[in-house]
Chains A and B, each alone.
Chain A
Amino acid sequence: SYELTQPLSVSVALGQTARITCGGNNIGTKNVHWYQQKPGQAPVLVIYRDSNRPSGIPERFSGSNSGNTATLTISRAQAGDEADYYCQVWDSSAVVFGGGTKLTVL
């Protein structure tokens, strides 16, 4: 089965840029979606199809996908961006989630 690998944690200084990676075999050939989950809340879609933002998601959130790595980039990080982030793909008639990355804003 297909596997997605994310770092357990990423730290970023307030106002700087955070990058969260999602690794998978030839992931660049798949559509990657990203979710933000704050404590005690349901996940929220922040990026779909690699680099598209749903309405209401700040432009500070962007995504890219190539080769074996997809990346979620959060520019000008704010305290409110502190959360768990999950990548997701569809592969062989199944939904696959990455293990999640905890983003800490210092």
Chain B
Amino acid sequence: QLQLQESGPGLVKPSETLSLTCTVSGGSISNSSYYWGWIRQPPGKGLEWIGSIYYSGSTYYNPSLKSRVTISVDTSKNQFSLKLSSVTAADTAIYYCARGVIMGDWFDPWGQGTLVTVSS
């Protein structure tokens, strides 16, 4: 059964870069039937897509975050990563990683999520 696990600092200072990693177990990140995504959820609010990466390395980003986001994949470690630069308090959220289905574009499964707080 495929599982995803987010990891990274739970506290980031304003103006710095948020860095998270998602480790995939129970399946290969190189499977061409899937892609990999990051979604976040500010406390008490709804879901916001951050971006997605395909096994080929192609990326798609939320236009509202595009200038600050980089998503990359490390097939040797079966991991993919998120970097979000110049963070502010508005970036405080639970960050989820998830598997996307090509030719379908739904996410399943999701990681448990990790809370990242932006504060000095």
Taking Cβ atoms with an 8 Å cutoff, the residues of A that contact B are 1, 31, 33, 35, 41-45, 48-49, 54, 86, 88-90, 93-100
**A90-B105 in contact (CB<8A):** yes
Residues 39-70 of B at the A interface (beta carbon under 8 Å): 39, 46-49, 52, 60, 62-63
How many residues on chain B are close to A (CB under 8 Å)?
Answer: 22
Residue of B63, B101, B105, B113 ringed by the most chain A CB atoms within 10 A: B105
B80 within 8 A of A: no
Interchain nearest-CB distance for A54 vs B (Å): 6
B36 within 8 A of A: no
5 interchain residue pairs of minimum CB distance: A90-B105, A95-B49, A33-B106, A45-B108, A42-B110
**A45-B107 in contact (CB<8A):** yes
With A1-B63, A88-B106, A90-B105 known as contacts, the answer to whether A95 contacts B96 (CB < 8 A) is no
**A31-B110 in contact (CB<8A):** no
Q: How far is the CA of A100 from the CA of B39 in the complex (A)?
A: 14
Interchain nearest-CB distance for B68 vs A (Å): 16
Determine the residue in chain A with the shortest Cβ distance to B64: A1
Interchain nearest-CB distance for B66 vs A (Å): 10
Write 7 A-B pairs (CB below 8 A) sorted by A numbering: A33-B106, A43-B47, A44-B110, A94-B62, A96-B49, A99-B46, A100-B46
Q: For residue A93, which residues in chain B have a CB less than 8 angstroms away from its CB?
A: 60
Residue of B37, B49, B96 ringed by the most chain A CB atoms within 10 A: B49
**B52-A95 in contact (CB<8A):** yes
Q: How far is the CA of A34 from the CA of B30 in the complex (A)?
A: 26
Q: For residue A90, which residues in chain B have a CB less than 8 angstroms away from its CB?
A: 105
Q: For residue B107, which residues in chain A have a CB less than 8 angstroms away from its CB?
A: 33, 35, 43, 45, 88
Q: For residue A48, which residues in chain B have a CB less than 8 angstroms away from its CB?
A: 101, 104, 106, 108
Q: For residue A42, which residues in chain B have a CB less than 8 angstroms away from its CB?
A: 96, 110-113
Q: How far is the CA of A1 from the CA of B66 in the complex (A)?
A: 14
Q: How far is the CA of A96 from the CA of B110 in the complex (A)?
A: 16
Extra 10 A-B pairs, beta carbons < 8 Å, given A35-B107, A54-B108, A88-B106: A33-B105, A48-B106, A86-B47, A89-B105, A90-B105, A95-B52, A96-B49, A97-B39, A97-B46, A97-B49
